[in-house]
Amino acid sequence: MIETLVRQDIESLRFAQPYVPKKYLNLSQNEPIRKIIGDKYSAKYIGPHYYELKNKLAEFFGLKQENFTITNGANHGIDVCCRCFLGPGDCSALYDPTYGPYYMIPRINGKDVVRFQLDENFEPDWQQFKDSNAKMVFIANPGNPTGNLLSLKKIEEGLETGKVVVVDEAYAEFTDVTAIDLIGNYENLVVLRTFSKVWALPGARVGYIVANEKTSDYLELSHIPYHMANPSLKLAYDVIDHKEDMERLVKETVNIREDLRIGLQALGLYVYPSYTNFLLVKFPEQINANTIFQKLCENDICVNNVSGQAGIENCLRISVGLQEENAMFLAVLKKLLETHI
């Protein structure tokens, strides 16, 4: 089924690249004979398929290495999906309010984007996608900047359209829901993951795509060879062994998030439920979120101003910081609200 959804010319991109075991004398890649700085690890190519990290991820999830495509962060995963599925004349879709790169990256690829609106519960009406000419849709779960969580049943409703559904799970470790559980049943499902959030490696720029083996084969054809940096790969490979540390970080973040939520509610603000490491905050009609944003900047505090997006007007998105950072933010915000700007 998936072969009917990928670009028609995708097979022309297939090339033979044998796996070279470490024990081999490898004189095939034109590598330097010695390092200048760094270590031996950074003076050798890894890839282009990154089997070591794939195998580590496969062990972690109980899947096969064939289910994974390694990406240069989740944004690169969005780009890989565009390159894999969108041929001449094809377009993708999104549901506002959502993550900006779902629009930006397809447009960079020269593709149109069909925009729909989430309902009042921040859930998609999949019939709109089904009836459109869009071939693929991007949706974050948990949502960004909304922070809400869709059920697997809701995700399956989208998959039943027969079109490609890309589920971005950047914050999935904050929940017990993952569309990865569905990849065995749906070739048209693509799940994006990242090491930038709960694994605490945003600067390393490492992500991965999880999909049906057949789908992953096509995704693997859709990125440039050798797109990953060795030090980043090593960091990602090593951090997977720190699952307990990751789980402690998630728990700590959730606890601090709840303290921040309570602090914001005490100021009379509406705080949307969140399954992430941020909070979406709605300000009363008499207080302009744009003004609050500007005043916070004047006090050397930066938050995300999402107030211009339909469905979340007059809202700001607040990332969870350390306790002392959140206390500083709340103190400044309280003073601003007391003076009514």
Distance CA 16, CA 14 (A): 7
Q: Is pLDDT of 22 > 80?
A: no
Long-range CB pairs of 57-65 (<8 Å, 24+ gap) are: 57/208, 57/240, 60/240, 60/243, 61/180, 61/210, 63/180, 63/210, 64/213
For domain 2-242, give the CATH number: 3.40.640.10
Class for the domain spanning 244-338: alpha beta
Q: How many CB atoms sit inside 10 A of residue 128's CB?
A: 16
- Per-residue pLDDT, averaged over 54-81, amounts to 97
Residue 133: what pLDDT?
A: 98
Per the CB < 8 A criterion, the answer to whether 242 and 55 are in contact is no
What pLDDT band is residue 69 in, cutting at 50, 70 and 90? very high
Q: Is pLDDT of 340 > 90?
A: no
Output 188 or 230, whichever has higher pLDDT: 188
Residue 143: what pLDDT?
A: 98
Domain boundaries of the chain, sorted by first residue: 2-242, 244-338
Collapsing DSSP to helix, strand or coil, 108 comes out as: helix
Q: What is the pTM of this model?
A: 0.94
